[in-house]
Structure 1
Amino acid sequence: MPQQPDNHISASKLAGSMGDSSNKFGRIIIARHGKPAKDRELGPRLTARQYLDWWASYEQASLKDDGQGPSKQLLEATKNAPFINTSIRPRAIETAQAIALGREVRQDSIFIEAPLPPPDWSDFWKFLPKRWNVISRVSWCFGHSGGQESQVEARKRAKDAVEKLINQAASGEDTVLAAHGWFNRMMRPELKRRGWKCTHDGGDSYWSFRIYEKHS
């Protein structure tokens, strides 16, 4: 797989505190999945009901077969991690496998994306999937769940997910998660509350990653 372009970051920073016995915890490295084969920007325009079906098929979609892959930075940061976690969605699993390079990949539904139920609008309203994503996320944040997981429930899941990652990092080894943009975002406040500082912020694009280290 061709690798994504690198932004400058020192090798020592990527290596982190591994091997430093004074640091009880390993690092937590959280990556976003690669680019899916299903394109949010392609038409046709969809009704709310059609978007529900589109999202269901997106959740089962693999990565786009265009030669994409993890950056050298991401591979360097994760090369010694014994814990490689991911959700149960194909796009996340394939991302984790590309990072793992043969190591075991642990799939867990606790890491799936927060749902995107569209509001109950009439068929008059038609938008591209990308626009429905925004509309549905805003609607969800204001309390609409459409019978799916609510924001309150997703926040609780994010706390439980962070607990799982911290328990792995408590071994003194790095732990990696390849998951989803919004759910990764939902874990940040809990990591901060638990005393974890982001020491590398790679943004939110496909294959991007953040590194968190425990601070007293």
Structure 2
Amino acid sequence: MTTEIKAMSLKHGAIVLVRHGEPNVSRKVTLSAAEYRAFWANYELLGLLPGQTPPRQLKDFVARCGTLVSSTRLRAIESAQALAGERAFDRHEMLIEAPLPPPRLPAWLKLSPRIWGFLARFWWWFFNHHEGQERRSEAEARADQAAAMLIGFAAGGETVVVLAHGFFNHLIGRSLKKLGWRLAESEGYKYWSMRRFERG
């Protein structure tokens, strides 16, 4: 086998991390910590807001990808289905979002879900507030495992598209960078956005 052919055979495909579409939940409320805890538990069960149309560019991209996978959360599964139609894809528990247990602040304090989400992530990340759920160190280890899995999928040279979640996609991206991958393109972390990683 020539050096050129060897190099071609070792070339990985890209890994594209996509955030799911908008979930079917209203954030136009104010909640106590306990109410936000129930809000997040319900959010984890919900699918997509009806009537959404995925970006055409992303849909065309998914049609050309070699491997499509999603997390096992309904909002991720429905997003993958909206992009892929009848195409089969695997679901992986490893790709679910990291938990968001809110800090135990006074019951009279009412905040929007967006602010509670920020506070919960801050407390979880910096103060290890987990309420018996997954810890930061455990989520980072899971992200390392997910990155290794995706690199395996990409090893044959085909592009891999992942339908998962904003923060856990961020953790996977950090893991990919540690393993020598670079961020080649990013649309941020909004719904339906994608971040493309390539072998460095």
TM-score (norm 1): 0.84
Please give the secondary structure, in 1, of the residue aligned with 2:47: coil
Residue number in structure 1 paired with 2:22: 35
Q: 1:93 & 1:177 partners in 2: Cα distance?
A: 10
Give the CA deviation at 1:25: 0.9
Give the CA deviation at 1:72: 2.0
Residue number in structure 1 paired with 2:4: none
Quick one: which of 168, 173, 181 aligns to 2:166?
A: 181
What is the percentage of aligned positions where both structures have the same residue? 40
Asked whether the 8 Å contact 2:9–2:156 carries over to 1, the reply is: no
Q: 1:185 & 1:70 partners in 2: Cα distance?
A: 21
Quick one: which of 28, 42, 51 aligns to 1:57?
A: 42
1:112 aligns with 2:101: no
Unpaired segments of 5 or more residues in structure 1? 1-19
Quick one: which of 123, 141, 160 aligns to 1:139?
A: 123
Please give the secondary structure, in 2, of the residue aligned with 1:79: helix
Give the CA deviation at 1:69: 2.4
Residue number in structure 1 paired with 2:3: none
Residue number in structure 2 paired with 1:17: none
Q: 2:81 & 2:89 partners in 1: Cα distance?
A: 7
Q: 2:144 & 2:163 partners in 1: Cα distance?
A: 17
Please give the secondary structure, in 2, of the residue aligned with 1:173: coil
Q: 2:66 & 2:84 partners in 1: Cα distance?
A: 9
Per-residue CA deviation, residues 33-64 of structure 1 (Å, 9 max, x unaligned), is 00111122x11x22111111110101111111
Q: 2:10 & 2:64 partners in 1: Cα distance?
A: 16
Residue number in structure 2 paired with 1:197: 182
Unpaired segments of 5 or more residues in structure 2? 1-6
- For residue 29 of structure 1, what is the amino acid of its counterpart? V
Number of residue pairs aligned between Structure 1 and Structure 2: 193
Asked whether the 8 Å contact 2:10–2:155 carries over to 1, the reply is: no
When the two chains are superposed, the root-mean-square deviation of aligned CA atoms in Å is 1.5
